[in-house]
Amino acid sequence: MKKPAFVAVLASVLAVSPLAASEVLAGSALVSPVKTTGTSLTATVVMDVTPGSAGETSIRVQKASQSEAAIFNSSYVGTMLWALGCTKPDIPDLQQSTAFRFTGYIDQLAAQVGDSSATVLNALFSKFVPAGFTAHSAAIVDQDYVKCTLVGNRQVLSFTATIQWGTGQ
């Protein structure tokens, strides 16, 4: 009964967007590219980070008037330890905690429970990938408008991400 309500919240957040593992997983950080290049995409990221049941994630990417979106259960988000306030337990600052966990290649973030990241990455990035790159080259380089919202008994983390194409993985 909680899942349909969460999907409704995700859908409403995306519709009104103003902008068109356990803690052992490498310190809970995405793998950083050596450098990034090319044009940027804007992404709206919304995820359920309720301790004990985290993982439902929505990402909407946009460049100019084109956009794509996906809703999936992220095994990366689901296996992390979350404190109240949507933070990593040892990093109580929301902006710093979010930057630590969600800067780098988004392969791990896009991996679904029981599936690889390819399905989500291709759905999100197939029409935006520049020549010489793949959807697996997408990397979050910055987060803005980071917010932790309580929705009933759920804890929802949302932010706007800047995505570029990484090299040197």
Picking from 17-21, 57-61, 72-76, which range would have the lowest pLDDT averaged per residue?
Answer: 17-21
DSSP state of 144: E
**What is the rounded CA–CA span in Å between residue 60 and residue 123?**
10
* Structure tokens that stand for 152 in this block: 């009933």
pLDDT band at 24 (very low <50, low <70, confident <90, very high): very low
The mean pLDDT value of the chain amounts to 84
Q: Are 130 and 93 in contact (CB under 8 A)?
A: no
For residue 167, pLDDT beyond 60: yes
Collapsing DSSP to helix, strand or coil, 121 comes out as helix
> What is the pLDDT, as a whole number, of residue 118?
86
- Sequence letter at residue 48: D
Write the pLDDT tens digit of every residue in 80-138: 999 999 999 999 999 999 999 999 999 999 988 777 788 899 999 999 999 889 999 99
> What is the pLDDT, as a whole number, of residue 56?
96
Q: Are 162 and 38 in contact (CB under 8 A)?
A: no
DSSP 12-45: HHHHT-S----TTSGGG-PPPPSEEEEEEEEEEE
Q: Are 139 and 36 in contact (CB under 8 A)?
A: yes
> What is the pLDDT, as a whole number, of residue 127?
93
Task: Supply the pTM of this predicted model.
Answer: 0.81
Q: Are 55 and 78 in contact (CB under 8 A)?
A: yes
Q: Are 166 and 34 in contact (CB under 8 A)?
A: yes
Mean pLDDT value of segment 61-82: 95
What percentage of residues in the chain have a pLDDT greater than 90? Answer: 66
What percentage of residues in the chain have a pLDDT greater than 70? Answer: 83
**What is the rounded CA–CA span in Å between residue 7 and residue 21?**
23
